[in-house]
Amino acid sequence: MNNYKRLIPCIFIKQGKAVKWFDNREVLSENVVELAKKYSDGGADELIVLDLSETDEEHDKAIDIMKKINRVIRIPMIAGGNVKRQEDAKKILYAGAKRVIINLSKSTGIELVDSVSKRFGKEKVAVSLNDFDTLFKQQHVIEENSSEIVFMHRPDLNSVMDITNLPTVILTDVLEEAEILRILKCPGIKGVSGKFISQLDLDLAVFKETCAREDIEMTAFESKMDFSEFKLNAEGLIPVIVQNYKTGEVLMQAYMNQDAFEHTLKTGKMTYYSRSRKERWVKGETSGHYQYVKSLTIDCDKDTILAKVNQIGAACHTGSPTCFYQPLAGTDYDETNPLQVFESVYEKILDRKNNPKEGSYTNYLFDKGIDKILKKIGEEATELVIAAKNPNPEEIKYELSDFLYHAMVLMVERGVTWEDITGELADR
């Protein structure tokens, strides 16, 4: 386990709203998704989301909110609350949570953490504890079936570290900065959450600087090479080619100086040097179209950086998804990139739903509704099975294409994107 620490705001959901769990559940925000995005954009390293609902209907609504949160944040989400059965854990993980939190203070916790770990793997499980005794008594069960501990109060930190080597997050109602710093300095503590870190007016970037002055190493990208090792142009800059990490599409080309490079590593947001304005330029600072770093690599001559990013919105100031959209010669030869094809068909289906066209089969399906769509998926699945039993493999290609098309109609109808699907597959 590395020594980098994390600042982890927490959101408690009740009746579809974010509430102050430590303060008699007073409403903190009516828009939970926007609050989560605020934390993510503000420099949080992870996000804890806990459901405090009292009915099954509220619980399902909280799960739906978690799905929406996962679509707008760029940081991992750890979620729990009302996890009573393995099915509840499954719903939370399928909503996009990196780990599901299981409460071991409840009588069913030990049995549940064992079954969820066996089903999904211990790396998908975190346990929440309210007291030190449970950690002491259930140490073997916890370490065998989970990958993280969330303490819901302030335990004796030294005692915790004497018992377990699992990464531990302290979720506390402490508001004193000095105490938060003391917690972060403790070896084995992965991060801190709770009242202090979740303050809406807390500038997390500024607090990370405070942590750095206290010799607390915060989560950040770390370059394997020093900027002085790069081969720069006559202006002291290095060109950067920016690529969409999901599709491989080249988005733009810009330049970095040392300040921009270091700011990129520190914030995780692509930062460049504007040659026209002669100043540092955080991509998306005015438009909101940020580029979040996935990876940085350098070429064999050390004179060009390749950045793979999660692009929010359009990369080009013209509104185009990429700056490279004006043909000069030749054709776009790669017309069969799987993800690009899936995304293209999905967008066409979505356009049909939003802009119906007379005579369109896709619109016929949407007009008939979910039952018709599901009936067609069942029919196509049956035809695929029959094709697979026949000697000609070409039939599988045709029937599978039909099945995938109808599956995409269902995805559009239910608001599921290919990003949701690929993200789920990547997490498995």
Q: How far apart are CA 155 and CA 59, in angstroms?
A: 30
Nearest one of 42, 8, 40 to 190, comparing CA atoms: 8
One domain for residues 120 and 206 = yes
One domain for residues 62 and 191 = yes
One domain for residues 184 and 231 = no
Please check whether residue 154 lies inside any domain of the structure: yes
Using an 8 Å Cβ cutoff, are 27 and 6 in contact?
A: no
Helix (H) or strand (E) holding 79: strand 77-80
Nearest one of 250, 278, 283 to 264, comparing CA atoms: 283
Q: Which domain holds residue 398?
A: 338-427
Q: Read off the DSSP letter of residue 55.
A: S
One domain for residues 279 and 343 = no
Buried b / exposed e over 99-115, threshold 16 CB at 10 Å, is bbbbbbeeeebbebbee
Per-residue tokens: 127? 């346990």
What does the pLDDT profile of the chain (428 residues) look like in tens digits? 446 899 999 999 999 999 987 666 788 899 999 999 999 988 899 999 999 998 989 999 999 999 999 988 878 899 999 999 999 999 999 999 999 999 998 888 999 999 999 999 999 999 999 887 778 788 889 999 999 999 987 666 666 666 778 889 999 999 999 999 999 998 888 999 999 999 999 999 889 989 989 999 887 676 778 899 999 999 999 999 999 987 788 999 999 999 999 999 888 899 999 999 999 999 999 999 999 998 899 999 999 999 999 899 899 999 888 999 888 886 655 555 677 788 889 999 999 999 998 889 999 999 999 999 999 999 999 999 999 998 888 889 889 999 999 999 999 999 999 888 887 776 66
Please check whether residue 316 lies inside any domain of the structure: no
One domain for residues 137 and 66 = yes
- Domain-ending residue, one of 213, 248, 281: 213
Q: Number of structural domains, the chain?
A: 3
- Edge-to-edge order in the sheet of strand 291-298: 250-256, 238-244, 305-311, 291-298
One domain for residues 272 and 126 = no
Please check whether residue 353 lies inside any domain of the structure: yes
Strand-pairing partners, residue 172, are 194
Q: Read off the DSSP letter of residue 224.
A: S
Nearest one of 76, 55, 31 to 426, comparing CA atoms: 76
Determine the 3-state secondary structure of 229 from DSSP. Answer: helix
Q: What is the pTM of this model?
A: 0.65
Determine the 3-state secondary structure of 318 from DSSP. Answer: coil
Q: For residue 82, is it left (φ>0), alpha (ψ between -120 and 50) or beta?
A: left
Please check whether residue 322 lies inside any domain of the structure: no
The domain that contains 302 carries what CATH number?
3.10.20.810
- Domain-ending residue, one of 161, 182, 213: 213
The domain that contains 366 carries what CATH number?
1.10.287.1080
Q: How far apart are CA 292 and CA 306, in angstroms?
A: 14
One domain for residues 145 and 231 = no
One domain for residues 48 and 183 = yes
One domain for residues 209 and 231 = no
Model pLDDT, residue 180: 95
The domain that contains 146 carries what CATH number?
3.20.20.70
Determine the 3-state secondary structure of 420 from DSSP. Answer: helix
Please check whether residue 291 lies inside any domain of the structure: yes
One domain for residues 166 and 251 = no
Please check whether residue 175 lies inside any domain of the structure: yes
- Domain-ending residue, one of 311, 329, 361: 311
Determine the 3-state secondary structure of 103 from DSSP. Answer: strand
Please check whether residue 218 lies inside any domain of the structure: no
Per-residue tokens: 208? 């990370």
One domain for residues 65 and 145 = yes
One domain for residues 112 and 187 = yes
Nearest one of 153, 200, 202, 150 to 20, comparing CA atoms: 200
